[in-house]
Amino acid sequence: MRVLIIEDEHKIAAALKRGLDREGYATDLAYNSDDGLDAALSGDYELIVLDRMLPGSLEGLEVCQQLRTNKIHTPIIMLTAKDNINDRVAGLNAGADDYLVKPFAFEELVARMRALMRRPGEALTTVLTAGDLTLNTTTYEVRRDGKLITLSNKEFTLLHYLMRHQNQVLSKNNIIAHVWDFDADILDNTVEVYIGYLRNKIDKPFKSPSLIHTIRGFGYRLGAE
């Protein structure tokens, strides 16, 4: 899951990035509204954390409005130092999906992020399934045929992305855009290498048919058929 944080207070931004990286998200930072809007318009993010008071030519509410006007429907959590009903209503009217008042507990942000990133069909469950493979987005447990599989953060993020988009062919560029942040050292074979790590853990040790498929010339697809 790739997340964009638009927040001018470097300390808060850095703390959020550290925490989210540890949770297995790929996180990019923007410190003003213009850079934030540019990055968000790329559509590469699963979620945007947007501070309300920002330096730059727009304030947070306007960034939100611009994104919705440009048909970017990425879920947005707005952060604010203010806490009154009018502010909340203004944020939600501008197109934000949720609202968090500073100071907040990191766990609360993560819980709200998870709630927003659930797809409609996932509303009641946080377990994604493909054949006999399951991934729990709350406990981070991955199991195949009931056996617990230990993954690194990045392997988990990659598998989570593949499972959310199962049976779709995903190009290398698409995978990079959603699983790695801007500062990551991406080599030509980074995606292949990580797909290889995943295969070694979720496919090779098991007798059931492979779940990760290479679509030559296009990319990869995860699915039980």
| x-or-dash string of contact with Ca ion, 71-100, rule CB under 5 A | ------------------------------
Segment near Ca ion (CB under 5 A); pick from 29-37, 43-51, 139-147, 184-192: 43-51
Q: At residue 187, what are phi and psi to the nearest 5 degrees?
A: -100, 170
Q: How far is CA 32 from the centre of its chain?
A: 21
E strand or H helix at 134, and its extent? strand 133-136
Tell me the two tokens of residue 133.
């493979």
Task: By CB under 5 A, name the one of 12, 19, 32, 53 that touches Ca ion.
Answer: 53
Q: Which is nearer to Ca ion, 8 or 132 (CB)?
A: 8
Number of Cβ atoms within 10 Å of the Cβ of 92: 14
Residue nearest to Ca ion (CB): 53
The yes or no reply on residue 8 touching Ca ion (CB under 5 A) is yes
Question: From residue 212, how far is each of 55, 157, 165 by CA, in Å?
Answer: 44, 15, 12
- Tell me how far, at minimum, the Cβ of 68 lies from Ca ion, in Å: 21
User: Alpha-carbon Rg of the chain, whole angstroms?
Assistant: 18
Segment near Ca ion (CB under 5 A); pick from 50-58, 112-120, 121-129, 195-203: 50-58
Interacting residues with Ca ion (CB under 5 A) = 8, 51, 53
